[in-house]
Amino acid sequence: MSDDRRPYTRRLTHAEAELWTVVTASVRPFRARPAPVEEPAAPAHQPAEPLRVKSPAPVPHLDRPPPPKPPTPLVEIDHRTRVKIKRGRLDVSAKLDLHGLRQDEAQRALNAFLRRAQADGAKVAIVVTGKGLSREEGGILRRVVPMWLQAPNLRDVVVGFGEAARHHGGEGALYVQIRRADRRRG
């Protein structure tokens, strides 16, 4: 086969050419550049409008301090640590039961408990929240205690947390891994 052959082309019939003209008449370029708009010249007897100078926009990084870095997320207690706790090879040094407390009381008790446990050198603590009355929603403390544990005021105390094993309370309790007092975040 030789490469000097031209591809087959045919001419459009009159009807096809008319149809093509109608179709292409409504087509616009995908990225059409706007035509330059010519402004009419101002009449000679009216004074030109004074130029308006825009004030420079404030530079955000020079006007205010940089936003604080987002805190590193707490880690779920790893499987190995959970197994050590379950088998009794890692002692649960402290336990707090929040049953019967109101939210504000429970939050104060949790903060004080965790700081005291850290000062005593505890590595892992159990916080009992209870399962709540409704199985679907769970109790209010069960929902809010994880948020409290992630709060900035406890970042220097809490390393991570996770659901406790069944014999420690299961869904109604949390293991809280406590940061060593000499390794506080600054």
How much is the average pLDDT of 22-26? 81
pTM metric for this prediction:
0.55
Distance of alpha carbon 20 from alpha carbon 90, whole angstroms:
81
Question: In sequence order, what DSSP letters do the residues of 85-153 get, joined into one string?
Answer: HHTTSS---EEEE-TT--HHHHHHHHHHHHHHHHHTT-SEEEEE----S-TTT--HHHHHHHHHHTSGG
Give tens-digit pLDDT for 71-121: 545 567 777 877 788 777 777 888 899 988 889 999 999 999 999 999 999
Q: Which residues pair with 124 in a beta bridge?
A: 177
- Residue 160: other Cβ atoms inside 10 A: 18
Provide the 10 A C-beta neighbour count for residue 34: 5
The second-level CATH assignment, the architecture, of 75-183 is: 2-Layer Sandwich (3.30)
Q: Is the pLDDT reported for residue 25 higher than 90?
A: no
